[in-house]
Amino acid sequence: MPSKKRTLMPMTWTPILDILADLGAATVSSLWLPALVWTIFAMPVYVGLQRCQFNVHLQYRVRQGLFFALPIGLLLGIAGPRVLDLDLFAPAVRPPPNLPVPDPPLSSSPETISSHQAFSWAWLHAFGLLTVAACAIGAYRLSRFLADILALVRFRNRGDLCKSPSVQHLTNRLADKLTVHRPVRTWVTSGDIVPQTVGAFRPTIVVPKTLTDDQEALRMTLTHELVHVRRYDCLAQWVERLVASLFAIHPGVGILCRSITHFREQSCDATVLDTEACARSQYAALLYRFSASLNSRNSVALRIGDLHPSLHDRIRAMHEYPSSASRWSPLPRFAIGLLMFGLVVGIAACSDVGDKPTAPSTESITQAEKHAEVLLSGQVVDSQTGEAIPRVNIVRMYEAEEQSSHVGFGEGVATTNEDGEFAADELRPGSHKLMVSCVGYEDKTREIDVTAESPQTMTIELRRETKSLPEIEVSASDTE
């Protein structure tokens, strides 16, 4: 049988590049720029905390404030413009009904038509790929977080959990002493587990049955877990895990989240030693006891035990940190609150979500030409389909005498809007050489002469550039 040849059609990458560019343009100023600002300000503070031995309560709260500044700032950047648009803080100034509303002025410069034109298209592609990677990693980490929550639900429904009236009575007494205003349940299990607190809204303390034989150890353990309940640490840890999953691509977020977990336990240890007035060696022995049987790695449950490297730091902190259990004065609290507020406002100010300019219509361009002296205007279209091409950059190339005093090969004079229209209002009279470029299209160069007496209007056609792979021939032959 004669062989059959099949020719695979060439693959075009232009739609994929357009999608990545649009995705990068949508996230560069709304996500990555605020994340960069957060990194610049938060990481030096984190390094300073690592090098200085401050109060453990101060260390814990500052780290927590730095961590939550990023999502709160991003949320304010998203919701802020929408709240202001609702006129909740000031009445809108509207013209009288008999007066015509003036058309918005046309601004065709790259800085005003599109806020992301400051970034080159290659950078937009990179930010688009980074956004795709962030979504993929965040989805994976979020699935692990949900799996931990489901495992925690199954743990609470275990059949070997039972109530102990004496342990519950001791829990109620300690809760009253620590001013815990929420009801806390205590369960005893025969399994070899580490004492832990589960449930963000209905806290439940689970202790092993072997712990009930040692009343002093049971008292220190319950005090430790009740401190977590009083401070809503379980809820805070859930939110921290959620934020860390969404920003998993940022290594600083993960580092700070693990540091918060570490200092949360140190802060709780300091409170227990101050409340119970127990010996440090006795409390340290209790921590070592449960670190040996640490078999639960669920990260959404609060445990008194810890892994050995972190446990050594907790024991050392009991002796090295100054006045760990003492309360810190209101002045540091005010300073920290002011610092966190400034960081949140800075992050929100860097985000321009919701403040994207709208493309002016054809009537707006006509009205703007009457009020402003535009020497060159027109539209850029596809040479094959005749459709308008948005986001086309029009650059005036420097003359030979200008090369020595400028960086680059030219200056941007206009960018097309969503209708493919442009108005080069910054172009001066004279002879100019313009380069018209857009992603997915071949660059085009035109020489024009513009005068103040006779403004020009032109239509520029661009030819689509197709990047294709070489054809692949697949041969197949029938064999008997």
- The whole-number pLDDT of residue 475 equals 60
The encoded tokens of residue 205 equal 């303390």
Nearest partner of 29 among 478, 432, 353, 424, judged by Cα:
353
- The whole-number pLDDT of residue 293 equals 56
- The whole-number pLDDT of residue 308 equals 54
DSSP state of 49: H
CA 18 to CA 121: how far, in whole Å?
Answer: 10
Task: Give, in order, the Cα–Cα distances in Å from 98 to each of 71, 94, 95, 101, 105.
Answer: 46, 11, 8, 9, 21
- The whole-number pLDDT of residue 305 equals 61
CA 436 to CA 443: how far, in whole Å?
Answer: 6
Per-residue pLDDT of the chain (480 residues; tens, 9 = 90+): 444 444 444 445 567 878 888 888 888 888 888 888 898 888 888 888 888 777 788 888 888 888 988 888 888 877 765 544 444 444 444 444 444 444 444 443 433 334 344 445 577 888 889 999 999 999 999 999 999 888 888 877 776 788 889 999 999 999 999 899 889 999 998 877 888 888 878 888 988 888 888 888 899 989 999 999 999 998 999 999 999 999 999 999 999 998 898 888 888 888 888 877 677 888 888 888 777 555 445 555 666 666 555 677 777 777 665 544 445 566 666 767 777 777 777 777 776 544 444 444 444 444 444 445 677 888 999 988 889 999 898 888 888 777 667 666 788 888 899 899 988 877 888 888 888 988 888 888 888 888 877 788 889 899 887 665 555 565 655 554
- The whole-number pLDDT of residue 300 equals 59
DSSP state of 378: E
Q: Are 455 and 377 in contact (CB under 8 A)?
A: yes
Q: Under CATH, which architecture does the 362-462 domain have?
A: Sandwich (2.60)
- The whole-number pLDDT of residue 151 equals 84
Q: Are 164 and 188 in contact (CB under 8 A)?
A: yes
How big is the CA angle at 83 (ends 82 and 88), to the nearest 5 degrees?
140
Nearest partner of 141 among 261, 260, 31, 244, judged by Cα:
244
- The whole-number pLDDT of residue 141 equals 93
The helix (H) or strand (E) run that includes residue 458 is strand 456-462
Nearest partner of 301 among 254, 234, 209, 244, judged by Cα:
234
Q: Where are the alpha helices (DSSP H) in 178-307?
A: 215-230, 233-246, 251-276, 280-291
The encoded tokens of residue 431 equal 């002879």
In the sheet with 161-163, reading across from the earlier edge strand, the strands are: 161-163, 185-189, 204-208, 196-198, 302-303
Q: What are phi and psi of 199, to 5 degrees?
A: 95, 120
In the sheet with 393-397, reading across from the earlier edge strand, the strands are: 410-415, 393-397, 430-437, 444-450
* Domain limits, the chain: 362-462
Which residues lie below 8 Å from residue 87, measured CB to CB, with a gap of 6+?
Answer: none
DSSP state of 425: T
Cα–chain center distance at 250:
8
CA 203 to CA 109: how far, in whole Å?
Answer: 58
The helix (H) or strand (E) run that includes residue 25 is helix 14-27
Q: Are 234 and 198 in contact (CB under 8 A)?
A: yes
Cα distance from N-terminal residue to C-terminal residue, the chain: 9
